Structure 1
Amino acid sequence: MSGNILIVDSVSTNRIVLKVKLSAAFYTVSQAGSLDEALDLADTRRPDLVLAAALPDASFPEVLSRLRAVPGMDMVPVVALLDQNDPATRAQRLREGAADVIGKPLSEAVLLARLRSLLRHAPRADDLGLQPAVARALGFAETPAAFAAPGRIAVMGGDAAGTQRAFLSRLARQGRHQVTTASVSRAHGLATLPQTPHVVLLVIGEAEDDPGLDLLAELRSAPATRQARIIAMIDRADAPRAAHLLDIGAHDVIGADTSADEIELRLAAQLRQQQAQAALRNQLQTGLEAAMTDPLTGLYNRRYALSQLNRMIEALPVRGGGFAVIAADLDHFKSVNDSYGHAAGDLVLTRVAGLLQSALRPGDVLARMGGEEFLILLPDCSRAAARHMAAQICRVVRETPLSLPGASAPLHVTISLGVTLAETRPGAPVPSLDGLLGQADRALYGSKSDGRDTVTFAHRPAA
């Protein structure tokens, strides 16, 4: 797995040893012996991950905060390097915000597996194909919160004992998180979990056929839990099994002798990561919705409507039947803006959009094409059904008074419609998008010429 890693350590021997190990694993490695050098390399090399020790000229928290202040570095994992694997210092580094802590001695296999896991699971805006500046402008690269919001935690596997009991008791006393427990035998199929967990602490025994291994695969593949973060608890965190678990999907691995304090900190870190990933997905969903939604009316926009029309055309030879395309335009809308102002005109457009939506069937497509123009697509619709629907739309708009702020009386508006049908006919070509839109537009012009507030059908189905 390739990646760009920055090593920050004032001891050159430490840097060289790490570089040899990482270069042999095909990572691109940069080295910094001071904070200024680290900041310069972070800005120019844009590493995917940082391995950082405390420096003579800067504590680890200062190294971390200064690195995160570099543009594009706010979501890059920073792993703390320790000369000694002291439990208190490990917990302190996690409390200060390290993505992980690596102390000596640690097997090379586990080291590389931890780095692979961090690189694979870190929430990254550039995975969405966004440039850093664009991602920041759209809110895809916000600095993670210092503390995880309350979440749902599931402890699964063997019966709770020792450190687990202390950990669960501590969480229960705090009351911040919703904690559930389940054994593997009772949790098969995840059926006993009352809600989808955000983080799973999965206890795996020493046996080669421990059922926790199968449960890890199930957790990573099941739709309900594939977004959950998984911490595997095994006998020793530096054992060969740790590397295997990290490579098959665990987000973190801890030893059974890990202190309750460190477990809680690691769990909080995974919960933050899960929440950051969820935020990225939500922001992406919001962006996708914005890309196909008209911001004023909340209807679909032109881009979405044309893509849907293309799909309906492509499906026509397969599904048969037919569909209707309706071009709609509010009558005399310029006079509304001139008489009441553009704010009132926007309000009229919004309310008419609601009226149109209420008149349509589930599955029909309504879009604002621009200005006071709308496009309506009616799947599986005959000529008689399209005629009935169009007449109903005209009637609903005509008969619904619209109250405007500051107006002495309700406003009445009307709408004109042009309708064309796309139908499968023996020997006839499949209609084109431009042909259908042109037919509907010409029919709409006919309605405008005939006095408005009316419906005109194209002379024949579009081809």
Structure 2
Amino acid sequence: MSARVLVVDDVPANVKLLEARLSAEYFDVMTAANGTEALAICRRAECDIILLDVMMPDMDGFEVCRRLKTDPATHHIPVVMVTALDSPADRNRGLEAGADDFLTKPVSDVVLIARVRSLTRLKMMTDELRMRAITSLEIGMQAPERSAVADTGKGGRILLVDDRQSSYERLATQLAAEHTVDVEPNPTEALFHAAEGNYDLLIVSLDLNNFDGLRLCSQARSLERTRHVPILAIADAENSTRLLRGLEIGVNDYLLRPIDKNELLARARTQIRRRRYTDHLRDNVQNSIEMAITDALTGLHNRRYMESHLATLAEQASTRGKPLALMILDIDYFKSINDNYGHDAGDDVLREFAVRVRKSIRGIDLACRYGGEEFVIVMPETDLHVAGMVAERLRRSIAGEPFAIHKGTKRIEVTISIGLTTLEKKGEAVADVLKRADTALYRAKHDGRNRVVSQAA
């Protein structure tokens, strides 16, 4: 895996040692001799992961990590502290500063490379989501970086999978200080429980009786509902080899027994913060896709979506020899509604019109706002006669009940004119169908409005 690793240490011998280890595994290694230099490199987005020493002259590693994790531009970069400090207090201080891991020198090559690979995979996945979410900024959606920096990581929902009562009771009590915790002592039920529970974190013991905890982790990664839920593995010290194997199959973090309460809580917060951030990124991507094809005012599909999707529906109809009906709807005298009652009233009418349209058509039908007060409805597998019945029902639905405007303080009469046609000839151009429906709409308006006019192919 090619990734850019930044090694930050003021001791040249330490830098050369780490550089040699990482270069042998084909990582691209950058170096910085102090915290100020490291922060500048990170702000320029020149690295994928940071290996950070603690004891440095200008500012210590704890302060460097804190600054990285509180800066919206750099908070997503994984930080691994690699230091000679080995007390629980130092470890917890590093994790509280936002470090993703805290490795004590001397660090074995296997452990170091496994951790770098695991965090690099995570960083690259996050980068892809961040790139896709850039569009959301361009259409006015809020970026998640600032909320991610402010997130405490508390208040998460955790599923603890452990079949040793003394162990899970102690862990659940410790975690309950900051989170909602469910315990699943039966590992065969754990995957179903995880899939249904909408959890922010899975904590899995790898020392289960008569069950392979790594297999459970692997299954969680392969199941759609749990694929993105972070996993924190717990094991006895002699099972460190299995933990490294777990990092390869998708475990996000691990703890060795005996477990320090503060470290447990710090690592849980880190994983939950990251889960919330990536979920926000995915939501932004999904929302930007929906906004690109949806009319913001009415919630119907927009013209761009209609033009691309209509071609597909027409091709399917031609291939299967099925009819396809298309109607163009225009709200009568809509300009006078805006002029007499204001544009807010016009928006009220458009929103309510969309609601009534949805109630009058089937789920397979395509309803779009074509522009202004014009709308298009495409009805697959529908002939001209049936489509005419639907159009007349919709016309009566609009004309039969006044529209509420100005927050319900006033009601006004609204009518629509509809031009209707069908795609009958195989291979007929979509533009010709739209033109024919538009011609029928013109006739409906010319003949007095509030009516349906059909025009056969």
Q: Give me the TM-score of the superposition, normalised by structure 2.
A: 0.90
Matched, 1:170 2:174: yes
AA of the residue aligned to 2:204: L
Tell which deviates more after alignment, 59-68 or 26-35.
Answer: 59-68
- Residue in 1 aligned with 2:447? 450
Which deviations, in whole Å up to 9, do the C-alpha atoms of 1:148-199 show, x marking residues without a partner? Answer: 142222222442445x543222224x26323223232x42653598624321
Which deviations, in whole Å up to 9, do the C-alpha atoms of 1:283-319 show, x marking residues without a partner? Answer: 2222222112111122221122223212212322444
- Residue in 1 aligned with 2:254? 253
SS of equivalent to 2:80:
strand
Distance in 1, Cα, partners of 2:350 & 2:360: 15
Which deviations, in whole Å up to 9, do the C-alpha atoms of 1:50-95 show, x marking residues without a partner? Answer: 2222322213342124334667323111222221332221122111
- Residue in 1 aligned with 2:294? 293
Matched, 1:180 2:183: yes
Matched, 1:386 2:387: yes
SS of equivalent to 1:239:
helix
How many residues are matched? Answer: 452
Contact 2:49-2:120 at 8 Å conserved across structures: yes
Distance in 1, Cα, partners of 2:338 & 2:412: 12
Alignment of 1:123-162 (within 5 A): 124-127=126-129, 129-130=131-132, 138-143=141-146, 144=148, 145-161=150-166
Q: In 2 relative to 1, CA 115–182 (structure 1 residues): closer, same or farther, beyond 3 Å?
A: same
Contact 2:325-2:387 at 8 Å conserved across structures: yes
Q: In 2 relative to 1, CA 117–160 (structure 1 residues): closer, same or farther, beyond 3 Å?
A: farther
Per the TM alignment, residue 135 of structure 1 is displaced from its structure 2 partner at its CA by 5.4
Which deviations, in whole Å up to 9, do the C-alpha atoms of 1:406-436 show, x marking residues without a partner? Answer: 999632122111111124xxxx532332222
Per the TM alignment, residue 210 of structure 1 is displaced from its structure 2 partner at its CA by 5.0
SS of equivalent to 1:387:
helix
- Residue in 2 aligned with 1:22? 22
- Residue in 1 aligned with 2:432? 435
SS of equivalent to 1:2:
coil
Matched, 1:50 2:47: no
Q: In 2 relative to 1, CA 417–237 (structure 1 residues): closer, same or farther, beyond 3 Å?
A: farther
Question: Which has the larger helix fraction?
Answer: 2
Distance in 2, Cα, partners of 1:158 & 1:196: 21
- Residue in 2 aligned with 1:205? 207
AA of the residue aligned to 1:171: L
Per the TM alignment, residue 246 of structure 1 is displaced from its structure 2 partner at its CA by 0.3
Per the TM alignment, residue 212 of structure 1 is displaced from its structure 2 partner at its CA by 1.5
Per the TM alignment, residue 213 of structure 1 is displaced from its structure 2 partner at its CA by 2.4
AA of the residue aligned to 1:284: V
Percent identity over the alignment?
31
Stretches of structure 2 that go unaligned for 5 or more consecutive residues are: none
Distance in 1, Cα, partners of 2:265 & 2:409: 64
Q: In 2 relative to 1, CA 253–16 (structure 1 residues): closer, same or farther, beyond 3 Å?
A: same
Distance in 2, Cα, partners of 1:106 & 1:380: 67
- Residue in 2 aligned with 1:395? 396
Per the TM alignment, residue 376 of structure 1 is displaced from its structure 2 partner at its CA by 0.7
Contact 1:157-1:212 at 8 Å conserved across structures: no
Stretches of structure 1 that go unaligned for 5 or more consecutive residues are: none
Distance in 2, Cα, partners of 1:191 & 1:346: 45
AA of the residue aligned to 1:190: F
Alignment RMSD (CA, Å): 2.8
Distance in 2, Cα, partners of 1:139 & 1:179: 33
Which deviations, in whole Å up to 9, do the C-alpha atoms of 1:303-341 show, x marking residues without a partner? Answer: 222232122123224444222111111112122222222
SS of equivalent to 2:226:
coil
Alignment of 1:178-327 (within 5 A): 178-184=181-187, 186-187=188-189, 189-190=191-192, 195-205=197-207, 210-236=211-237, 239-327=240-328
Contact 1:198-1:229 at 8 Å conserved across structures: yes
Q: In 2 relative to 1, CA 179–59 (structure 1 residues): closer, same or farther, beyond 3 Å?
A: farther
AA of the residue aligned to 2:152: F
SS of equivalent to 2:431:
helix
AA of the residue aligned to 2:180: H
Per the TM alignment, residue 20 of structure 1 is displaced from its structure 2 partner at its CA by 1.3
Which deviations, in whole Å up to 9, do the C-alpha atoms of 1:352-388 show, x marking residues without a partner? Answer: 2222222222332211111111111112212221010
AA of the residue aligned to 1:393: L
SS of equivalent to 1:147:
coil
Per the TM alignment, residue 247 of structure 1 is displaced from its structure 2 partner at its CA by 0.6
